[in-house]
């Protein structure tokens, strides 16, 4: 199961390499596999040869894998969610989402609540979470 899951995860990266750099599938697959192997080796060595301890903003001490986990979980996820809120709330507008929900005659009874959440409430809370993850606030 782990092998098939990793293949499906790497397929998206391989396809991105093919689109962005116009490489063929074989070359893209080799590049992605080598990058994954190098990063995996770095993580494995982070518990012996490359061992270090770093104090994270949540007052825990982490090694290389913990640092990578912290960055992905507490920094990148809020950044992507905040970007989605800004994109949907302010760039394309929440009306497009509301129209998509109503497309087949479905009801969307809380349109105003949705608009307020996507434009105001969620971005403020996500920004607060991001500041907290970066150690810029003590709440």
CB neighbours of 33 closer than 8 A, spacing ≥ 6? 10
Q: Return the structure tokens found at 113.
A: 């609540």
Q: Return the structure tokens found at 120.
A: 């105001």
**pLDDT (0 to 100) of residue 138:** 74
Cα separation, 4 vs 9, in Å, equals: 9
- Alpha-helical (H) ranges within 46-93 are 64-70, 77-86
The pTM assigned to this predicted structure is 0.76
Q: How far is CA 64 from CA 9, 33, 82, 127, in A?
A: 22, 20, 26, 25
Q: How many C-beta neighbours within 10 Å does residue 126 have?
A: 20
Q: What is the pLDDT along the chain (139 residues), one digit of tens a residue?
A: 888 998 899 999 999 999 999 999 999 999 999 999 999 999 999 989 999 999 998 888 999 999 999 999 999 999 999 999 999 999 999 999 999 999 998 999 999 999 999 999 999 999 999 999 988 887 6
**pLDDT (0 to 100) of residue 99:** 94
């Amino acid at each position: 199961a782990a092998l098939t899951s990793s293949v499906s995860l790497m397929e998206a990266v391989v396809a991105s390499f093919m689109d962005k750099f116009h490489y063929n599938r074989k070359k893209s697959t080799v590049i992605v596999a080598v990058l994954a192997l190098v990063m995996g080796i770095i993580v494995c060595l982070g518990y012996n040869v490359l061992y270090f301890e770093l104090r994270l903003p949540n007052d825990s001490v982490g090694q290389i894998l913990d640092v990578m986990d912290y960055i992905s979980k507490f920094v990148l996820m809020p950044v992507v969610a905040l970007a989605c809120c800004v994109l949907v709330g302010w760039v394309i507008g929440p009306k497009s989402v509301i129209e998509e929900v109503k497309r087949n005659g479905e009801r969307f009874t809380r349109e105003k609540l949705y608009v307020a959440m996507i434009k105001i409430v969620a971005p403020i809370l996500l920004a607060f979470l991001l500041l907290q993850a970066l150690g810029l606030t003590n709440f």
